[in-house]
Chain A
Amino acid sequence: MEFFIQQTAAGLTSGAIYACVALGLVMIYVSTDHINFAQGEMAMFATYIAWMLIDAGVPFWLAFGLTALIAFVGGLLIQRFILKPLETAPVLALVVCFIALLSIFNALAGMIWSYTIKQFPSPFPQYDISGHGLVSVQQLGVVAVTLVMLGILTVFFRYTTLGLAMRAAAQNASSARLMGVRVSWMLALGWGLAAAIGSIAGMLVAPIVFLDPNMMTGILVYGFAGALVGGIGNPMGAVAGGFIVGVLENLVGSYIIGNELKLTFALVVVVGVLILKPAGLFGQIIVKRV
C-alpha cells in the first residue's frame, strides 16, 4: 500500500509537469489550431537561460520570473517572424516548420551549453512532509505551481476581455476582426503564453531529471498524451489529462510493464485516445463544416 501511495504521489508530480507541457500545447492549439512539436525544445532552451541566470547569482524565484518573461517574448517573436508568413500555408509546411524549430533549438542548446548534463537547483526542500517518506515538499511544490498557473490562466481567459478576445480570434478569425480584435496579435500572444508556460514546465522538471538538451523529448510525448486525454482544446482538461497520464504512467510502469516501455505506453495512449475518443475525456466535439 505504501508503495502504491508513493508511486501515486510520484505520478502526480510528473503529472503536474506533463500538465504544464499540455497547457502550453493547448494554448497554441486554442489560439492557432496548430500542434507545436517544438514546445518541448523551446521549454528546454528557456530552462538553460534560467540555469545561466541562477549560475550568475540571480535568486531562484527572480530567475524563474525573468525566464518566463524572456520565454514569453521569445514565443511572441517566433510567431511574428517565423510563423506569421506561413499563416495560410498547408499543414505539411507548418509541421516541417515546427520540426525545423525543434531541431534548431536542440542544436543551439547543444552548441551553447554542450550535451553534458547539468544540475538544476530546486526551489523546494527535499524533505518529506508526512514523516513516512511518502510525499515530499518538492512534489507538493511542483503540483502547487501547476495549479496556480491553471488558476491564473482560467481567470485570464474567463474574466478578462483580452482573454475573451483571444478565444474569439481562435474560434472565428474573420468574425473577430469584425469586432475590432487584432487577430494576428492574439496568435502571437498565444505563442508567447505557451512559451512562458513551457519554460515553467522546464524549470520544474529540470531539478528532477537534470538539465540536458534532450531532457524534454519524452516529456513532450507525455504532454501530448495528457493534452489529448483531456481534450486538446481545453486548458482545464489538459491539466486533468496531464495528472491522469502521470499517475497511470507510474502505476503501469511499476506494476505491469516496467520502466523500459514507458514511451511505448505514451504511444498507446496517444493513438488510443486519437482513435477512440478524439475529443478527449472532457472535450467537446466540434463538427467541421465542409
Chain B
Amino acid sequence: MAAILELKGVSAWYGQIQAMFDLDLKVEQGGVTALLGANGAGKTTTLRAVCNMVRRSGGTIFDGQDISKRSTEDIVRLGVAHVPEGRGTFVALTVEENLRLAFHIRKDRAAATRDMDMVFEYFPRLKERIRQQAGTLSGGEQQMLAIARALMLAPRLMLLDEPSFGLAPLIVQEIFRILRRINEQGKVSMLIVEQNAALALELADHVYLLETGHVVTSGPSDMVRDDEALRKAYLGY
C-alpha cells in the first residue's frame, strides 16, 4: 500500500527554539496513524508542520506531491483537513455557517450539499443545533463541529489534534466511534494526536512514540499494545 503522507527529515522551530528534530513519518493510504507521547513531545508540532503553520524544514509528500513549500490554505485545498487543538470554532457564526464555510473553496456544489447531509448523518446532534451560534455549543458538540467542518472539505487526509481533550468519557467514546466510521466508510486516512493512548491504539493501525521532538519508536499498534515495558514507560498504563 502506498503512503498518502510522508514526512522526510522534518524539523520545526518556535522562534529560536527547535521543537522537532529530523522526523520521518508515514501515513498509509486509508490508514490511521497515531502520535503518542507526553506534553511537549512535539505531537501538535508535527501536525502543524504538515500544514506549514510553523517554521519548518524537510520534505512533506502528500499523495506523491511535495507540499513542503505550499501555504496552509493551499495544503487544505489539496485535501488535508486539520482539526486543530482547541477546536477552532467560529463562535459568532451559526453551526450551519461553520459548515457552509467549506462551500467557499469547493467547486462541486452538489457534492458539497451531499457531504453536508452525510455530516449530519454522522452527527445528528449538530443538525438539531443547526441555527444555533457555535459559541453556545458544549465542548463535545464543538469537537463534533470541528470534525464536521473538516469533513466538509472532502479531505483525503485528516489531521486530528487531541479530539478527546477535555471531554466526558461517553462523548469521547462516541466521537471515536464516528471517527472509525469516517475512516472505514469515507476512506479518509488519519493522522491523530492523542493523550488517551488506549483509545488511540484502538483506532490506529500505526503508532509513533515521540519524546522531546524525536521518535522513540514506531510500529504497528499491536506491537506497542503488547509491549508492556514500553507502555508503562511512555504511556503510563
Chain A residues numbered 139-196 whose CB sits less than 8 Å from any CB in chain B: 161-162, 164-165, 167-168, 171-172, 174-183
> How far is A178 from B79 in the complex, measured between Cα atoms in Å?
11
Besides the known contacts A167-B90, A175-B90, 17 further A-B residue pairs in the complex with CB atoms under 8 A apart: A161-B103, A164-B93, A164-B100, A167-B92, A168-B90, A168-B93, A177-B53, A177-B73, A178-B81, A179-B101, A179-B153, A180-B102, A181-B101, A181-B104, A181-B105, A183-B73, A284-B92
B residues in contact with A179, CB < 8 Å: 76, 101-102, 104-105, 149, 153
Most buried by B among A167, A177, A180: A180
| Closest residue on chain A to residue B53 by CB atoms | A174
> How far is A58 from B103 in the complex, measured between Cα atoms in Å?
40
| Closest residue on chain B to residue A162 by CB atoms | B104
Q: How far is the CB of A284 from chain B (nearest CB, A)?
A: 8
A residues in contact with B81, CB < 8 Å: 178
A91 proximal to B (CB < 8 A): no
Secondary structure at the B interface, as helix, strand, loop or mixed, is: mixed
A residues in contact with B89, CB < 8 Å: 172, 175
> How far is A265 from B102 in the complex, measured between Cα atoms in Å?
46
Q: How far is the CB of A175 from chain B (nearest CB, A)?
A: 3
A residues in contact with B90, CB < 8 Å: 167-168, 171-172, 175-176
Question: Known contacts being A167-B93, A179-B149, A180-B76, is A174 close to B101, with CB within 8 Å?
Answer: no
Taking a contact as CB atoms under 8 Å apart, the answer to whether B93 and A171 are in contact is yes
Taking a contact as CB atoms under 8 Å apart, the answer to whether B93 and A178 are in contact is no
Pick from A162, A178, A284: contact of B76, CB under 8 Å: A178
| Closest residue on chain B to residue A286 by CB atoms | B92
Q: Mark A261-289, 1 if CB is under 8 A from B, else 0.
A: 00000000000000000000000101000
B residues in contact with A176, CB < 8 Å: 90, 101
Total interface residues on B, CB under 8 Å, equals 24
Q: How far is the CB of A258 from chain B (nearest CB, A)?
A: 42
Q: How far is the CB of A232 from chain B (nearest CB, A)?
A: 14
List 5 A-B pairs, minimum CB-CB distance, nearest first.
A175-B88, A180-B105, A180-B76, A161-B104, A165-B104
Chain A, interface size category, equals 20 to 34
7 CB contacts below 8 A, A to B, read A171-B91, A172-B88, A176-B101, A179-B153, A180-B73, A180-B105, A181-B101
Question: Known contacts being A178-B76, A180-B76, is A164 close to B104, with CB within 8 Å?
Answer: yes
Taking a contact as CB atoms under 8 Å apart, the answer to whether A177 and B76 are in contact is yes
B82 proximal to A (CB < 8 A): yes
B205 proximal to A (CB < 8 A): no
> How far is A164 from B225 in the complex, measured between Cα atoms in Å?
45
Q: Mark B153-166, 1 if CB is under 8 A from A, else 0.
A: 10000000000000
| Closest residue on chain A to residue B88 by CB atoms | A175
> How far is A161 from B103 in the complex, measured between Cα atoms in Å?
6
Q: Mark B30-55, 1 if CB is under 8 A from A, else 0.
A: 00000000000000000000010100
Q: How far is the CB of A274 from chain B (nearest CB, A)?
A: 21
> How far is A286 from B93 in the complex, measured between Cα atoms in Å?
13
Pick from A168, A171, A178, A284: contact of B51, CB under 8 Å: A178
B residues in contact with A171, CB < 8 Å: 90-93
Q: Mark B83-101, 1 if CB is under 8 A from A, else 0.
A: 0100011111100010011
Q: How far is the CB of A188 from chain B (nearest CB, A)?
A: 14
B11 proximal to A (CB < 8 A): no
> How far is A175 from B76 in the complex, measured between Cα atoms in Å?
11
| Closest residue on chain A to residue B83 by CB atoms | A178
B residues in contact with A167, CB < 8 Å: 90, 92-93, 97
> How far is A161 from B73 in the complex, measured between Cα atoms in Å?
16
Question: Known contacts being A178-B82, A180-B105, A181-B105, is A161 close to B100, with CB within 8 Å?
Answer: yes
B180 proximal to A (CB < 8 A): no
> How far is A168 from B92 in the complex, measured between Cα atoms in Å?
9
> How far is A174 from B72 in the complex, measured between Cα atoms in Å?
9
> How far is A161 from B107 in the complex, measured between Cα atoms in Å?
12
| Closest residue on chain A to residue B109 by CB atoms | A161
Pick from B84, B92, B102: contact of A174, CB under 8 Å: B84
A residues in contact with B103, CB < 8 Å: 161, 164
B8 proximal to A (CB < 8 A): no
B214 proximal to A (CB < 8 A): no
Pick from A162, A165, A174, A183: contact of B88, CB under 8 Å: A174
Q: How far is the CB of A63 from chain B (nearest CB, A)?
A: 33
B77 proximal to A (CB < 8 A): yes
Most buried by A among B81, B92, B97: B92
